């Protein structure tokens, strides 16, 4: 069971009072507010705004080439994306150097058997300075995935590898 938020364990301490804060794991996010309309720097150099992807479900997936769980998950992620053309999948790299991304993608294409250019609803984004992942979506652990509904509201935040069998929308 997942709970969210901060819970204050009430109680007064005889020597002056106080309380203890306990952080429990985050629950799935159901936010009625639209996600921020941040600029996305595509690997090819073009910039698109996040809201331009509205109208269909969006998977905003944060990863890095140096992240061992990301490397393990990536071929399955590409296979899932190819099988779900009704989604837009934004693969947001948190790598410091843009040059590290393309060789990694070629390696993952070989492992998965999927050529990214043949899957038009998948785009690779470079998160220069980790502005999108860390400052906007508060993602500091990779892989991490934000599920965005067609109306651009955040529906879920998945920390860690995705259970692709459970991801049905």
Is residue 101 in some structural domain?
yes
Residue range 54-82: average pLDDT?
Answer: 95
Residue 168 lies in a domain: no
- Reported confidence tier of residue 30, pLDDT bands at 50, 70, 90: very low
Identify whether 6 is part of a domain.
Answer: no
> 147 lies in a domain?
yes
What confidence score (pLDDT) does residue 126 get? 95
More confident residue, 15 or 59: 59
Q: Tell me the average pLDDT across 143-157.
A: 95
- The CATH number of residue 115's host domain is 3.40.30.10
pLDDT grade, residue 160 (50/70/90)? very high
Structurally, how many domains does the chain consist of? 1
Stretch 123-145: mean pLDDT: 93
Whether the pLDDT of residue 59 is over 70: the answer is: yes
- Residue 151 within a domain: yes
Q: What secondary structure, in 3-state letters, does the chain show?
A: CCCCCEEEECCCCCCCCCCEEEECCCCCCCCCCECCCCEEEECCCCEEEHHHHCCCCEEEEEECCCCHHHHHHHHHHHHHHHHCCCCEEEEEECCCCHHHHHHHHHHHHHHHCCCHHHCCCEEEEECHHHHHHHHHCCCCCCCEEEEECCCCEEEEEEECCCCCCCCCC
pTM comes to 0.79
| pLDDT of 33 strictly over 90 | no
Which pLDDT value is given to residue 168? 61
Give the residue numbers spanning the domain of 86.
29-159
């Amino acid at each position: 069971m997942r709970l969210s938020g901060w819970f204050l364990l009430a109680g007064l301490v005889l020597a002056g009072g106080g309380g203890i804060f306990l952080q429990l794991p985050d629950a799935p996010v159901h936010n009625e507010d639209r996600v921020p309309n941040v600029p996305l720097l595509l690997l090819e150099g073009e910039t698109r705004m996040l809201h331009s992807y509205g109208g269909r479900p969006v998977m905003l997936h944060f990863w890095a080439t140096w992240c061992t769980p990301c490397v393990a998950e990536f071929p399955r992620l590409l296979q899932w994306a190819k099988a779900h053309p009704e989604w837009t999948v934004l693969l947001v790299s948190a790598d410091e150097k843009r040059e590290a991304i393309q060789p990694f993608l070629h390696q993952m294409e070989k492992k998965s058997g999927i050529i990214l250019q043949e899957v038009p609803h998948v785009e690779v984004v470079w998160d220069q300075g980790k502005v999108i992942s860390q400052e906007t979506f508060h993602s500091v652990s990779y892989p991490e995935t934000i599920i965005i509904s067609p109306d651009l509201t955040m529906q879920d935040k998945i920390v860690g590898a995705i259970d692709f069998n459970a991801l049905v929308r």
